[in-house]
Amino acid sequence: MKRMKRFHISHISAVFFLLAALSLPAQNKDFYKGRLSVESAGLKEEGDSLLLSFSVRIQGRAVSRGQSMLLVPELSTGSDPDSNMLTFPYILVNGDRRQKLNERYFTLADMDRVTAYHRPLMQVNTRPSTDTTLLYNLKTPYESWMDSARFVLYQQITGYRQESRLYALALSGKVELEARVPYQVSPGVSLLTPGREVKTRKRQGKAFLDFQAGRSVINPGFRRNPAELAKINEAVSDVKDNPDAVITALFIEGYASPDGLYTTNERLSKERSLALKDYLKTKFGFDEGLFKVNHVAEDWDGLVVQVQASDMEYKDKILEIISTTEIMDGCEKALMRLAKGAPYRQMLRDMFPGLRRVEYQIDYTVRDYTVEESKSLYSRKPEDLSQLELYNLAQSYGKGTKDYADILLEAIPRYYPDDVTANVNAAALLIENGELNTAGRLLDKAAGIAPGGNHPAVLNNLGVIRLLAGELDEAEALFNRAKTAGSEEAARNLEEVAAKRADNQKMERYKNR
């Protein structure tokens, strides 16, 4: 399609300099019988613009007193009807009489009806004994067809009777392209602010208590009991004496090993649970309502864990017997018959003692902390801080600091491993650090946790990874999904995709030049 553009003055940026230049020598072909010469001419790309520049030297009396000379710059790809063409603002050179006529015309004319194109951008009145050098510089938005365009300067001489003569001179070939550096995308990652939570915490432990024959009361000085009770007392006291914590529940569960009669083991496991409950009530004065007590007569699940972790002989056969034989159908006897009882005796000696135990759990809540309080607590008891408090603490240190990275990449994921926000924020920082593979794994995990897998922050950050990898189509699809889901960052990142795609096309053009 033929493109003929005429520029209005308001659409261009042009600078003209008139210099008295009697001493400047001509450097190009003479125009119009030597009275006009082009000193220099060029087409140059500058950013997203094309710079057209040339200088002409106009001799004194280049036109007679009653003549006018128009200099019309034009950029075109050829004379074909389908060629592209751009006509730039013209320069008017007048003899002194023609100058007066023109001034009178523009004074009397209805200027609203005289378009910007029909008005000269600049008028030059030639003087008999003085040459004039004119510098013409103009920028216009760059278009791809300009790669193969030529610059032509037309000269039209008009006399008293409107007789005209037209001359043309091709002044420049291909555009001088500036050195190109590929566009570096700068996508925005999504960072989520955690929600406020009721800080429910738990502290767990195991106690291997010994009981005197025929008794179910704990004797604090009997066998291993001093050491075992000391561990329990420390755990409970640590929570109970914390002014910021409130104990909400105490869970106790007693276990017995599979050896011996089932009824005996059930009684033992229950008595161990109740004995620890009574001890804690007496020792710390807890209300009965805080306790939830349970017992497991024979801890076969615990035995399976120990066997799987061992390298004992007949390991697979032992696990098969336990998984296929019911307790009441003689599971223990089947184990005792295996390999003449050698594996059973090994378990009785090495594994069963660890199954005779009482497990406990202390549930408690912790009050909220300010950022300054969080700084002090972070080094002592970071588990008592919420994700929001840890996040605010990281922000107080500022992006780029070691503390910021430690909190987002280590502390928060340690305490909130299956939380979408924790994984998204850690991935965001990893993306900014260039660790795209690790970030991708965290985001895939977050996508599996998020309902429907369509969390906007997850989708946006996955799109950022694709964009940084140069996978524009995949990135665009993810950003569109994220934008639909409500991500503001995704809307801006779609602009980055468009900018990079356009730049890739430009780089191809440069590669082919």
Is the separation of the CB atoms in 232 and 360 below 8 Å?
Answer: yes
Q: What is the predicted pLDDT for the residue at 353?
A: 87
Q: What is the mean pLDDT of each run of 10 residues along the chain (513 residues)?
A: 39 36 35 65 85 85 80 83 84 80 68 54 68 86 85 82 70 76 92 93 90 74 90 94 95 92 90 93 94 94 94 94 89 93 93 90 96 94 94 96 96 95 97 95 92 88 96 97 95 96 83 65
- Just give the CATH number of 368-512: 1.25.40.10
For residue 457, CA distances in Å to 5, 413, 478, 483 come to 46, 17, 10, 10
- In terms of C-beta distances under 8 Å and separation of at least 24 residues, what long-range contacts does 341-347 make, across chains too? 342/313, 343/312, 343/313, 343/314, 343/318, 346/312, 347/303, 347/306, 347/307, 347/312, 347/318
Q: What is the predicted pLDDT for the residue at 3?
A: 46
For residue 102, CA distances in Å to 64, 108, 161, 322 come to 15, 10, 15, 112
Q: What is the predicted pLDDT for the residue at 214?
A: 58
Q: How many CB atoms lie within 10 A of CB 115?
A: 10
The two structure tokens encoding residue 8: 């209005």
Residue whose token pair is 């660890």 = 354
3-state secondary structure of 36: strand
Q: Is the dihedral of CA 294, 300, 303, 304 positive or negative?
A: negative
Residue whose token pair is 């066998």 = 223
Q: What is the predicted pLDDT for the residue at 208?
A: 87
Q: What is the predicted pLDDT for the residue at 29?
A: 43
CATH topology for the 200-310+351-364 domain: 60s Ribosomal Protein L30; Chain: A; (3.30.1330)
Q: How many CB atoms lie within 10 A of CB 215?
A: 11
Rounded to whole angstroms, the Cα distance separating 392 from 408 reads 10
What is the location of CATH 1.25.40.10 in the chain? 368-512
Is the separation of the CB atoms in 133 and 27 below 8 Å?
Answer: no
**φ, ψ of residue 429 in degrees (nearest 5):** -70, -40
Residue whose token pair is 């140069």 = 470
Is the separation of the CB atoms in 164 and 473 below 8 Å?
Answer: no
What is the location of CATH 3.30.1330.60 in the chain? 200-310+351-364
Rounded to whole angstroms, the Cα distance separating 383 from 406 reads 15
**φ, ψ of residue 371 in degrees (nearest 5):** -60, -40
Is the separation of the CB atoms in 306 and 351 below 8 Å?
Answer: yes
Rounded to whole angstroms, the Cα distance separating 177 from 170 reads 19
3-state secondary structure of 380: coil
Is the separation of the CB atoms in 424 and 458 below 8 Å?
Answer: yes
Cα of 418 vs its chain's centroid, Å: 21
**Residue 448: HSE in the Cβ half-sphere, 13 Å Cα cutoff:** 9
pTM listed for this prediction: 0.63
